[in-house]
């Protein structure tokens, strides 16, 4: 290292830097495990500046959040005695500070993924460092998978380092082809971990408030409290208001705050004052809040969970992982001995998950599918993901992208898809902007898209029109940067000069969320969307009275979804801007209440029924298919099988179970799955369930049997058995074996056991008394005559003295009558 850099702080990670340098010289990949406070985020990039293999290439340091990226860049620049933007700079979505002299770029993970996709060779970049990889963001997983792909195919000289304080080292090492592991000790002061069990039913903000007041009174130093989200932070601040002395400052810390507000939260408390920082998980890693020696951990975090079946990402409050709990506790010991107060019972810690679930397993993957299509990859398994994307979410993402025209059926990127991917926006909003460009509304669409991707801009109103109006006049660095970003996007889409056209946001958003166009149904605030699902607004909201909305954001599970952001539209707007979305068609359907087929002419928008009028029922396949759908709803028990039809089904089913193909499956599932084959062709004119004829059912069942086989049915599975008396008795095939129920007197004189199938399959004989009560079941009639008949005869002739009970039934005369009188 140069003399200047040799004077860098003597942090623990400094001791292992030579080992890291050697590993990267030999292997080009490494895993660095270093506890919080070891100095890996700042010292490793500075150390790598002097490595021979770097040449004049840049070092990219990935951080999971903008706050961490700015803090890391600022710390490194100050260690070099420079300003940000000289040797060390940063690059993020709304803020970039780099120059021609910059050799260390701290970038957010999403920005790096775009850099890589736009320049697969990573020209001018010598090393990529993935910091805090244990957080397992989707962008980090994608960035690492693509970086490894680049290294293997194009840039074997590229160095890749995966760094983390808490890491599943074995899996990451396997992903990196057994890359060397470098471990550093941490520099942390002792932390006294205490537990304060939260009573059942107590709100988390009440528990945190109580813990803060207790700690503030009994301990010295500033306090960092972890809460799950912005709402809990606000409510905790409200509870603390007026309960603390004037020398204590309360500051929130979460992602939607401006840079100035975030910087204020992490600055040390002024001399003679104390600070209470109410933070989300944003404060877990990569930043140090000077003066904090007390951490209060609610034990909760809010994670996004994507449901492929609804296409909705909802926020779910869950327990933190053990790794996160350790990270949080470590914040108390960064600069002095500290205290960590956990608001759960000590015994519950072991039950916490080891790590936070990776985002790739619970995220909307449409952006990933689009990016990989641009990369030329249609199968994610061909890339080195630590966890492969779930198949269901991958399929749903492809369906969405095909509907947006971004990819074709084979998964290849289309020309429209390329324009969508070129925008730094989620696919839905990018598709909206591309469509708007054709209508001369580029700037309006880009402004709206940026508003929806940067939480907090324009306020928090559910009404997007209201937020957009506020955003236009909003002042501040973040709002200015967001508007500049929208302008750059519009320029990339071909907008030239100032556009005077304005349009209601809903007419633009229809192209991003056609499946979420919603019609009020069921009362104020209740809506049904084009995808068939319901969503609700509080009745006090202005939009609750709208006849139609387009919904940009909602949360909750299917059946109970709450609208978070929407814009008002009208049917005229849909007809003018999306005429193809409104479909007029004739429908033939099964009416469950009347058990009949009906027909109607409808106008619909997806699953939303706009208009309907009854029409004459068609007498063709449409009718039969609708009736078949009714049977699927009601089950086969609704069909009027006669005894003969039911026996036919049982006979064929018996042969299917004993012989197999070509005899068809006659089970309920088997027949329901083949209704189109055996039911539909025979019921084109049948109006309803009660009009079905049993004969048509028998005809349909026989149609499933091949013509060259059906002639064998009477021989293999006859309908009746002819007794020695000449009487015919039905054979029952609904059990595991064919069964014949018959009075024992009718079998007198029969020396062989009755059988079917050419004598190969014996019938199960249920021998009954003259009173039609079972007296014996046998599969061996001759054995019965010579064996247990004696006991049966002894018991039965006393009960039925008028009927013959010969000693030798095998040689007796069969009969259906009682003995003549006097005998």
pLDDT at 6 over 60: no
Q: In Å, what is the CA distance from 480 to each residue of 360, 474, 476, 485, 671?
A: 32, 8, 6, 9, 65
Q: How confident is the model at residue 801 (pLDDT cuts 50, 70, 90)?
A: confident
Residue 728, strand partner residues: 722
Cβ atoms of 380 and 348 closer than 8 Å: no
pLDDT digits (tens, 9 = 90+) for 142-174: 999 999 999 999 999 999 999 987 777 888 999
191-360 to CATH, choices 3.40.47.10, 3.30.70.3450, 3.50.50.60, 3.40.50.300? 3.40.50.300
The answer to whether residue 709 scores a pLDDT higher than 60 is yes
pLDDT at 496: 61
Predicted local distance difference test score (pLDDT) of residue 3 = 45
Domain ranges (residues) in the chain = 3-183, 191-360, 423-577, 581-717, 718-811
Contact partners, residue 34, CB within 8 Å, separation at least 6: 12, 13, 16, 40, 163, 164, 165, 183, 184, 186
Encode burial over 74-94: b for 16+ CB neighbours within 10 A, e otherwise: bbbbebbeeebbbbbbbbbbb
- Structure confidence by residue, pLDDT tens digits, 644-687: 999 999 999 999 988 889 999 999 999 999 999 999 999 999 99
pLDDT in tens, 479-503: 898 999 999 999 988 876 555 556 7
Predicted pLDDT of residue 559: 62
Top pLDDT among 798 and 527 is at: 527
To 10 degrees, the CA torsion angle through 723, 726, 728, 732?
0
Same fold, 3-183 and 191-360: yes
Helical segments of 404-528, H only: 415-422, 427-438, 442-453, 464-473, 477-492, 505-509
Summarize the confidence of residues 54-59 as an average pLDDT: 95
- Mean pLDDT on 409-420: 93
Total residue length of the chain: 823
Confidence of residue 309 (pLDDT cuts 50, 70, 90): low
Q: Are 95 and 263 in contact (CB under 8 A)?
A: no
Encoded tokens for 187 = 């520099």
β-partners of residue 183 are: 33
Alpha-carbon separation of residue 200 from 207, 497, 632, 668 (angstroms): 11, 60, 46, 49
Backbone angles phi, psi at 536, to 5 degrees: -135, 155
- What does DSSP assign to residue 407? B
**CA angle at residue 285 from 275 to 196, to 5 degrees?**
60
Which H or E element spans position 116?
A: helix 109-118
Distance CA 411, CA 398 (A): 7
Owner of token pair 């978070």: 564
For the segment 613-630, what is each residue's pLDDT rounded down to a tens digit?
999 999 999 999 999 999
**Domain covering 3-183 in this structure, CATH number:** 3.40.50.300
**Range with the lowest mean pLDDT among 4-8, 179-183, 689-693?**
4-8
d(CA 526, CA 649) in angstroms, rounded, equals 48
- Extract the tokens encoding 772: 């039609």
Instruction: Tell me the pLDDT band of 1, cut-offs 50, 70 and 90.
Output: very low
pTM: 0.75
pLDDT in tens, 224-269: 999 999 999 999 999 999 899 989 999 999 887 877 888 888 888 8
Taking alpha carbons only, the member of 317, 321, 414, 423 closest to residue 367 is 423
Q: What does the pLDDT average to over 367-378?
A: 94
Q: Which residue has the higher pLDDT, 200 or 428?
A: 428
* Start-to-end Cα distance in the chain: 125
Does the pLDDT of residue 821 top 70, yes or no?
Answer: no
What gap in Å lies between CA 477 and CA 260, rounded to an integer?
9
Smallest Cα–Cα separation from 181: which of 39, 13, 23, 385? 23
Is the per-residue pLDDT at 565 higher than 90?
yes
Structure tokens at 321: 């992982």
Residue 598 falls in which region: left (phi positive, over 0), alpha (psi -120 to 50) or beta? beta
Q: At what angle do helices 109-118 and 366-375 cross, to 10 degrees?
A: 30
Mark out the alpha helices in 549-686 (DSSP H runs).
571-577, 621-634, 643-658, 668-673, 675-678
The first and second tokens of residue 33, run together, are: 């495990």
- Smallest Cα–Cα separation from 331: which of 517, 119, 165? 165
Give the span between the Cα atoms of 235 and 246, in whole angstroms: 20
> Token digits for 419?
């324009």
């Amino acid at each position: 290292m140069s003399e200047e850099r040799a004077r860098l702080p003597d942090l623990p990670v400094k001791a292992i830097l030579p080992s890291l340098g050697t590993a990267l010289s030999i292997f080009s990949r490494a895993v660095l495990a270093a506890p919080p406070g070891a100095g890996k985020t700042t010292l490793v990039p500075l150390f790598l500046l002097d490595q021979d293999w770097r040449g004049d290439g840049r070092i990219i340091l990935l951080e999971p959040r903008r706050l961490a990226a700015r803090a890391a860049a600022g710390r490194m620049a100050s260690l070099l005695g420079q300003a940000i933007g000289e040797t060390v700079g940063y690059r993020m979505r709304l803020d970039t500070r780099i120059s021609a002299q910059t050799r260390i770029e701290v970038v957010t993970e999403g920005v790096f993924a775009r850099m890589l996709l736009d320049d697969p060779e990573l020209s001018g970049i010598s090393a990529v460092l993935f910091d805090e990889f244990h957080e397992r963001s989707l962008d980090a997983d994608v960035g690492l998978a693509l970086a490894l792909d680049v290294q293997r195919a194009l840039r074997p000289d590229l160095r890749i380092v995966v760094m983390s304080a808490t890491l599943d080292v074995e899996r990451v090492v396997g992903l990196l082809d057994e890359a060397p592991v470098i471990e550093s000790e941490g520099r942390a002061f002792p932390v006294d971990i205490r537990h304060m069990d939260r009573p059942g039913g107590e709100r988390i903000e009440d528990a945190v408030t109580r813990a803060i007041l207790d700690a503030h009174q009994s301990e010295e130093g500033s306090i960092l409290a972890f809460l799950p989200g912005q709402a809990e932070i606000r409510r905790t601040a409200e509870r603390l208001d007026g309960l603390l002395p004037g020398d204590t400052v309360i500051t929130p810390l979460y992602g939607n705050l401006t840079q100035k507000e975030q910087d204020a939260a992490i600055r040390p408390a002024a001399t003679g004052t104390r600070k209470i920082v109410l933070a989300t998980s944003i404060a877990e890693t990569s930043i140090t809040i000077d003066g904090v020696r007390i951490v209060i951990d609610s034990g909760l975090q809010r994670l996004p969970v994507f449901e492929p079946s609804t296409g909705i990402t909802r926020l779910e409050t869950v327990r933190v992982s053990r790794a996160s709990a350790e990270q949080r506790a470590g914040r108390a010991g960064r600069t002095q001995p500290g205290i960590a107060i956990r608001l759960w019972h000590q015994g519950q810690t072991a039950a916490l998950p080891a790590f936070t679930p990776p985002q790739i397993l619970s995220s909307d993957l449409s952006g990933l599918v689009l990016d990989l299509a641009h990369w030329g990859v249609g199968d994610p398994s061909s890339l080195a993901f630590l966890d492969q994307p779930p198949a269901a979410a991958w399929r749903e993402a492809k369906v969405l992208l095909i509907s947006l025209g971004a990819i074709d059926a084979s998964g290849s990127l289309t020309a429209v898809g390329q324009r969508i991917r070129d925008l730094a926006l989620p696919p839905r909003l990018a598709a909206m902007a591309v469509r708007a460009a054709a209508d001369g509304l580029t700037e309006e669409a880009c402004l709206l898209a940026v508003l929806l991707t940067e939480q907090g801009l324009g306020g928090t109103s559910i009404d997007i029109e209201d937020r957009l109006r506020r955003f236009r006049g909003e002042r501040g660095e973040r709002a200015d940067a967001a508007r500049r970003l929208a302008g750059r996007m519009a320029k990339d889409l071909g907008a030239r000069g100032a556009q005077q056209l304005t349009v209601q946001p809903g007419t633009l958003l229809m192209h991003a969320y056609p499946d979420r166009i919603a019609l009020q149904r069921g009362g104020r605030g209740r809506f049904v969307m084009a995808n068939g699902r319901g969503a609700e607004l509080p009745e006090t909201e202005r939009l609750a009275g709208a006849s139609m909305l387009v919904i940009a954001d909602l949360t909750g599970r299917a059946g109970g979804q709450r609208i978070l952001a929407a814009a008002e539209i009208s049917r005229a707007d849909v007809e003018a801007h999306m005429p193809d979305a409104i479909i007029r068609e004739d429908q033939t359907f099964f009416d469950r209440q009347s058990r009949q087929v009906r027909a109607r002419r409808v106008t619909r928008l997806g699953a939303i029924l706009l208009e309907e009028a009854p029409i004459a029922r068609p007498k063709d396949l449409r009718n039969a298919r609708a009736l078949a759908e009714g049977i699927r709803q009601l089950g086969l028990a609704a069909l009027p099988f006669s005894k003969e039809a039911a026996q036919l089904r049982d006979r064929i089913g018996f042969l299917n179970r004993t012989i197999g193909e070509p005899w068809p499956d006659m089970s309920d599932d088997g027949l329901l799955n083949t209704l189109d084959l055996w039911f539909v062709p025979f019921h084109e004119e049948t109006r309803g369930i009660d009009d079905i004829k049993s004969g048509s059912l028998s005809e349909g069942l026989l149609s499933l049997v091949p013509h060259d086989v059906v002639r064998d049915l009477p021989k293999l599975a006859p309908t009746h058995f002819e007794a020695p008396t000449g009487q015919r008795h039905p054979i029952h095939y609904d059990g595991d074996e064919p069964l014949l129920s018959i009075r024992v007197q009718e079998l007198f004189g029969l020396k062989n056991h009755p059988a079917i199938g050419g004598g190969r399959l014996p019938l199960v004989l249920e021998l009954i008394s003259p009173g039609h009560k079972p007296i014996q079941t046998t599969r061996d009639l001759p054995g019965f005559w010579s064996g247990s008949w004696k006991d049966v005869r002894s018991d039965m002739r006393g009960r039925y003295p008028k009927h013959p009970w010969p000693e030798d039934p095998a040689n007796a005369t069969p009969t259906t009558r009682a003995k003549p009188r006097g005998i």
